[in-house]
Amino acid sequence: MAKNKRDILMSKLKMHDVGEKPKKSHCGPSLMEPSVYYPSLYLNVEQVPELAGKEVGDEVTFLVKGKIRSHSINDNVRSGKRETFDLDIKKMGLLGK
């Protein structure tokens, strides 16, 4: 069976779960606190027309091209080394199913 371009691309991408667990507070966990935080991105249909017609809860897959704007390394004795990046997203496309 021939694979389509999306399947070929997805087979070459390494996907990562980017969720972070909240840091422990001195008061203990809150009932309203989510167990995992995910980064969010706000877009409109002028930026990505393929989002038109999508609904809350739909899962979508994007291919993003960006430029690294900043890079920092925080070497904390308690929490260990944490490396972060800030990106300017230049182009993106929604991969169809």
User: Could you tell me if 29 and 73 are in contact, meaning their C-beta atoms sit under 8 angstroms apart?
Assistant: no
Q: What is the pLDDT of residue 70?
A: 96
Tell me the pLDDT of the chain averaged across its residues. Answer: 85
Residue 87 CA to its chain's centroid (Å): 12
Q: What is the pLDDT of residue 2?
A: 57
Q: What is the pLDDT of residue 29?
A: 58
CA distances from 28 to 6, 32, 37, 55 (A): 44, 12, 17, 35
- Segments in the chain below pLDDT 50: none
Q: What is the pLDDT of residue 28?
A: 60
CA distances from 31 to 27, 34, 35 (A): 12, 8, 10
Query: What pTM was estimated for this model as a whole?
Result: 0.66
